[in-house]
Amino acid sequence: MDKLQQYTIEILQLKKTVGTSCWQIGNKLNEIKESKLYLLNYGTWGEFLEKAVDISSRSAYQFMQLASNMEKKTVEEWGASKSVLLVQVTEPLRKEIMEIHNPEDKVEEIK
């Protein structure tokens, strides 16, 4: 195996951990928001996102949607970018797309 193949394999593996991390961040954000823990030190949810974790509201929403609507394993398999696309559609449509496509398909093919 040459160096390019090795790096490619490593990058693909790391991409899986990105999806898992996004799901985990979303899960924690859901817990913080639902329990209103952010009010202990911050006046608003937006202030908490900006000052405490430096995450935009849009990204936070996407991560939270991943954790609320998809299994962690699915996000790991499909990756962060494709999972964010999938979570934006209804569950029946998401299941249909996931039956037609597979995690190795490019984002452009799924769109």
DSSP for 55-69, written as a single string: --HHHHHHHHHHHHH
Q: Is the pLDDT of residue 107 over 90?
A: no
pLDDT tens readout for residues 28-84 = 999 999 999 999 999 999 999 999 999 999 999 999 999 999 999 999 999 999 999
Cα-based torsion angle of the residue sequence 8, 97, 68, 24 in order, rounded to the nearest 10 degrees? 0
Q: Is the pLDDT of residue 15 over 90?
A: no
pLDDT of residue 1: 78
Burial of 26 (0-12, 13-18, 19+ CB in 10 A): buried
What's the predicted TM-score (pTM) here?
0.85
pLDDT of residue 110: 86
pLDDT of residue 88: 93
Residue with the larger pLDDT of the pair 107 and 61 = 61
